[in-house]
Amino acid sequence: MIKDKNNWCIITIYVDIYVDVGNTHTVFGILQSNQNKDYQSIEKHLEELRFSTKNIETPEDIYSRLFPFINNNIQRKFKVDNIVVSSVVPQINFVIEKFVHKYTECNYFCWVEARDGLGIDWQTDEYKQMGADRVADILGAICVYNDNFVIIDFGTAITIDVIVDRKYVGGSISPGFMLLIKSLFQETAKLPMVEIEPTLKLVDNTTIGQIKLGTIDIICRGINSIITELKQTYKDIKIILTGGFSTIAQKIIINDIIIPKLQFIGMNYYLKLIKK
Amino acid sequence: MIKDKNNWCIITIYVDIYVDVGNTHTVFGILQSNQNKDYQSIEKHLEELRFSTKNIETPEDIYSRLFPFINNNIQRKFKVDNIVVSSVVPQINFVIEKFVHKYTECNYFCWVEARDGLGIDWQTDEYKQMGADRVADILGAICVYNDNFVIIDFGTAITIDVIVDRKYVGGSISPGFMLLIKSLFQETAKLPMVEIEPTLKLVDNTTIGQIKLGTIDIICRGINSIITELKQTYKDIKIILTGGFSTIAQKIIINDIIIPKLQFIGMNYYLKLIKK
């Protein structure tokens, strides 16, 4: 046990930092370093720090934001062991990389990407273009349901990914709830902004209700139609919801489980696979 | 019969001009003046001239665009009888009004609006806020199916309107196909623009296919889910598709009839009702 000059005990804690760089938000997930965690313990212990992606322009932007959270305790000293980054915004990747090298002294650093050796048969030549967020989601889902699953991630975009017998069957990409609402507001002369909230109605007779129905309920009905067919095609397939708006989607979407931290669970598993 | 100085016969033709001012396009529909036209004859004879709404800034913008089309025949002289305008872009209404007074010498001019006396029980205090395009669609649909119908208009937005026993039951407002695709392209770092085209698949394993599926097919599946419930709730209800993208939607959407010129049929009927 190290002691400082006041004779206080200082405990050094090794942490892993998982970074999810999304189109809207960048989320830093901080977890005590120890790769053999099951998904429930990651769900429980991973601390999330969420910032607007557009405000991350320099390594200092990241350091000054993270510092108050990870060094707020004089009795504990944090050292970064591993950093895993999943990014869908290539233009800020060099900022992340500079931050890692300038400020973290981490032992190991890697980017999530679709590749061989992850135990997934991608079944398409295009898999290297797949968003790193979706790769992390898929690996996270493997930790929960080993075999057949559908992941629906409600973020800036709504992505669907289907894995059957460890094969990537395919998916879809739709605008997320916020984009749907914003696109109507920005591109029409008269329609107002509305709250992200389903109406749970068949039709509505107010403008605000009609927009909620036409943006939230209708896209969810469309997704349910796909889920229903997938459940008929692949027996025992599980439906996993994740992403910022999954708690709203859950009111309409057919689902088996909601895993808010799915992507971080996947990044933790990715690290295990890559460092083998 | 009037003759000009070369002793040619000049026939004066009275026309009505129907103007549909939409968020993307403004369409001028020109039809020989005679209010007792059935919908098939309007579909057949109405000539459509389509311009970008953002390029209409002055009365001269309109006159110079229309002139080559309506005065291209030295043996026929056109006089404007009636002008009916349905606008969802209030900021250009004064341009339209100036054009009408400065250049047309028309006999009668009116704006389409939701109001009493149209034979529709609106059943909501908000009906005066309803888009003029949807009012015209509803009146057009009354000319085709007198009683129970659902209109789905695939324009800049996708609107659904349900009329049962001449009562307005309600509807919804979603972003149109172009807005759905553009919102993904503009608000994400890596996703490409794609063609407006359904995939007719359950899932896809290419990025372009996934975006087509997630923007075109999924919204159409959502609308089909609403149509299916409406058909169970209201017996003998007819599904009418209209709007610029209805021929694409038709590949997926459950429908009874496609009426591209529904709004103009409605404006023709509106004129009859208002001038009574």
Please tell me whether residues B94 and B132 are part of one structural domain: no
Residue A137 in tokens:
């989601």
Judge whether B200 lies within some domain.
yes
Place B2 in a pLDDT band, splitting at 50, 70 and 90.
low
How many structural domains are present in chain A?
2
Domain boundary among A111, A136, A155: A111
Q: Where are the beta strands (DSSP E) in B88-190?
A: 108-111, 149-154, 157-164, 167-175
Q: Are residues B148 and B257 in the same domain?
A: yes
Q: What is the CA A138 to chain-centroid distance, rounded? A: 11
Do B142 and B85 share a structural domain?
no
Do B238 and B264 lie in one domain? The reply is yes
pLDDT value, residue B276: 77
Lowest mean pLDDT among A221-235, A238-252, B36-50, B223-237: B36-50
SS3 content of chain B, % helix, strand, coil (to 5): 40, 30, 30
Chain B nearest CA to A121, separation (Å) = 12
CATH code, B69:
3.30.420.40
The verdict on A113 touching B (C-beta cutoff 8 Å) is no
Instruction: Examine the pLDDT at A2 and tell me if it is beyond 60.
Output: no
Tens of pLDDT, residue by residue over B197-207, are 999 999 999 99
A116 within domain boundaries: no
Q: Is residue A254 included in any domain, yes or no? A: yes
The model's pLDDT over A193-207, given as tens digits with 9 standing for 90+, comes to: 999 999 999 999 999
Determine contact, residues B88/B130, Cβ cutoff 8 Å.
no
pLDDT at res. A73: 67
What is the Cα–Cα distance from A163 to B248, expressed in whole angstroms?
Answer: 30
Spatial contact of A191 and A211, defined as CB atoms under 8 Å apart: yes
Look at B203 and A124 and tell me if their CB atoms are within 8 Å: no
Measured at the CA of A240, the angle between CA A26 and CA A122, to 5 degrees, comes to: 80
Inter-chain CB pairs, A–B, below 8 Å: 203
Question: Which of B86, B111, B136 corresponds to the end of one domain?
Answer: B111
Q: Is the residue at A171 inside a domain?
A: yes
For chain A, say whether B179 makes contact (Cβ under 8 Å).
Answer: yes
Are B132 and B252 within one domain?
A: yes
- What letters, b where the CB count within 10 A reaches 16 and e where it falls short, cover A168-180? bbbbbbbbbbbbb
Residue B74: pLDDT band with limits 50, 70, 90: low
Give the integer Cα–Cα distance in Å for B242 and B220: 14
Q: What pLDDT, in 10s, does the model give residues B91-109? A: 999 999 999 999 998 999 9
**Of the listed ranges B58-72, B147-161, B166-180, the one predicted with least confidence:** B58-72
Mark yes or no for CB contact A124/B206 under 8 Å: yes
Look up residue B204 and give its two tokens.
Answer: 């896809």
Please classify residue B153 by burial: count the beta carbons closer than 10 Å to its beta carbon, then call 0-12 exposed, 13-18 middle and 19+ buried.
buried
Q: How many CB atoms lie within 10 A of CB B76?
A: 13
Assess whether A159 and A59 both reside in one domain. Answer: no
The answer to the question of residue A120 being in a domain is no
Residue B160 counted as domain residue = yes
Of the pLDDT bands very low, low, confident and very high (cuts 50, 70, 90), residue A77 is confident
The answer to whether A218 contacts chain B (CB < 8 Å) is yes
Q: Which residue has the tokens 């349901």?
A: A145
- CB-CB neighbors (< 8 A) of B191 in chain A: 157, 173
Mean pLDDT of B153-182: 97
Question: For position A13, what pLDDT does the model report?
Answer: 86
**Top-confidence residue, A36 or B238:** B238
Q: Is B116 a domain residue?
A: no
Does the pLDDT of residue B5 top 70, yes or no? no
A124-154: pLDDT as tens digits: 888 888 999 999 999 999 999 988 999 999 9
Tell me: the pLDDT tens digits for A159-169? Answer: 999 999 999 99
Range(s) of the domain holding residue A34? 2-111
Q: How many CA atoms lie within 13 A of B95 on its CB side?
A: 19
Contact between A31 and A78 under an 8 Å Cβ cutoff? The reply is: no
Interface of A with B in 119-158 (CB under 8 A): 123-124, 126, 129, 131, 156-158
Q: A111, A141, A168: which is the final residue of a domain?
A: A111
Cβ atoms of B243 and B153 within 8 Å: the answer is yes
pLDDT at residue A72 is higher than 80: no
* B20 part of a folded domain: yes
Residue A74, min C-alpha distance to chain B (Å): 40
Mean pLDDT across chain B: 92
Q: Are residues A168 and A232 in the same domain?
A: yes
Average pLDDT of chain A, as a whole number: 92
Same domain, yes or no: B63 and B129: no
Comparing A6-20, A23-37, A152-166, A238-252, the range with the smallest average pLDDT is: A6-20
Residue B4 has pLDDT above 90, yes or no: no
> Distances in Å between the alpha carbon of A42 and those of A14, A153, B73, B186, B255?
15, 18, 78, 34, 49
H or E element: which one contains A238?
A: strand A238-242
Question: Which candidate in A26, A91, A161, A172 is best for mutational testing of the B interface (most B CBs within 10 A)?
Answer: A172
Q: Does A52 touch chain B (CB under 8 A)?
A: no
Query: Which chain A residue has the Cα nearest residue B215?
Result: A174
Do residues A13 and A77 make contact, with C-beta atoms less than 8 angstroms apart? Answer: yes
Cα–Cα distances (Å) from B62 to B59, B67, B92, B206, in that order, read 5, 8, 11, 44
Q: Is the pLDDT of residue A89 over 60?
A: yes
B140 and B84 part of one domain:
no
Catalytic positions of B, please?
133
Query: Quick check: A1 pLDDT over 60?
Result: no
Q: Output the pLDDT for position A127.
A: 87
For the segment A237-249, the average pLDDT, to the nearest whole number, is 97
Examine the domain organization and report whether B74 and B168 are in the same domain. Answer: no
Q: Which tokens belong to B273?
A: 């009702």
Q: Which residue of chain B has the CA closest to A124?
A: B205
Please report, to the nearest 10 degrees, the dihedral formed by the alpha carbons of residues A233, A235, A238, A239 taken in order.
30
Phi, psi (rounded to 5 degrees) for B112: -75, 135
Residue A35, pLDDT above cutoff 70: no
B134 and B106 share one domain: no
CA distances from B157 to A139, A163, B88, B92, B179 (A): 37, 34, 11, 19, 8
Please give the structure tokens belonging to residue B195.
């063609």
Q: Could you give the C-alpha distances from B24 to A103, A183, B237, B244, B247, in angstroms and in order?
A: 50, 13, 30, 11, 18
Could you tell me if B261 and B132 lie in one domain? yes
Which residues of chain A make contact with B188, given a CB cutoff of 8 A? 23, 88, 156-157
Q: Which amino acid is at B246?
A: S
